[in-house]
Structure 1
């Protein structure tokens, strides 16, 4: 069993707004530095990006009304990492949650650094969405 941490943040925007922005692979460079440090492009039917750890393919869950934004990240060596991600209503806004799994070879320091990277990405997402005009 892998260790897991659920990292979440409150975003003062509707779940629909958060989902629409965060589930778009083209928006990843704006908020997910841990995954997409460059433009995300569509190549051979897949989303491709350059992450801090190399070129990756990204496959998101199909559009849905449940706020599920799970995505698989495949490295060039064929390794695939599943990343559960959700947005749910929380009163006047949304709770955005990312589930971080500790990989078997990770040290405590690497797992802590991964958590910090996800926390930074979620803080960026929150700032971006809360600074945009609400179109409701």
Structure 2
């Protein structure tokens, strides 16, 4: 994977479950600790927001409103106050669905850090696949 050339990479996993089922599971922030360890070791609803204990510290996670299009975008507000937008799509396929996460390189991110971020997201997508295909 060449993560340094363009500053953007699309990470994809195929899941052998219906898109609606995958979307319903993944769009519920309370499920984040089960599959998104790169984002949330634990998550709680606090003051009308989802707050997660992450490897980056305590972060606020806000998902796009529920929709019929598989848009699973979410904003993560870091402890510094910076908000990172994460585009994610659940796309129906004849044998299940594909989940596509667009990872964008932030300006101060080194090549090694960007590669590690991509590996973390890939691991999270594989965990989502395992969890959803088991159910």
Q: Answer yes or no: same fold by TM over 0.5.
A: yes
**Structure 1 consecutive aligned stretches of length 4 or more whose deviation exceeds 6 Å:** none
Partner of 2:96: 93
Structure 1 counterpart of 2:52, from 49, 67, 70: 49
Partner of 2:3: none
Q: How many aligned positions are there?
A: 130
Q: CA deviation at 1:77?
A: 1.9
Q: TM-score, normalised by structure 1?
A: 0.93
Partner of 1:29: 33
Partner of 2:109: 106
Q: Distance in 2 between matches of 1:117 and 1:78?
A: 22
1:83-103 Cα distance to aligned partner (Å, 9 max, x none): 000101111200000000011
Q: Distance in 2 between matches of 1:18 and 1:48?
A: 22
Give structure 2 stretches of 5+ with no counterpart.
1-5
Q: TM-score, normalised by structure 2?
A: 0.94
Q: CA deviation at 1:37?
A: 1.1
1:16-58 Cα distance to aligned partner (Å, 9 max, x none): 00000000000000000000012x1111111001100100001
Paired residues for 1:4-83 under 5 Å: 4-38=8-42, 40-83=43-86
For the residue of structure 1 that corresponds to 2:127, the secondary structure is helix
Give structure 1 stretches of 5+ with no counterpart.
none
**Contact 2:56–2:79 at 8 Å: present in 1 too?**
no
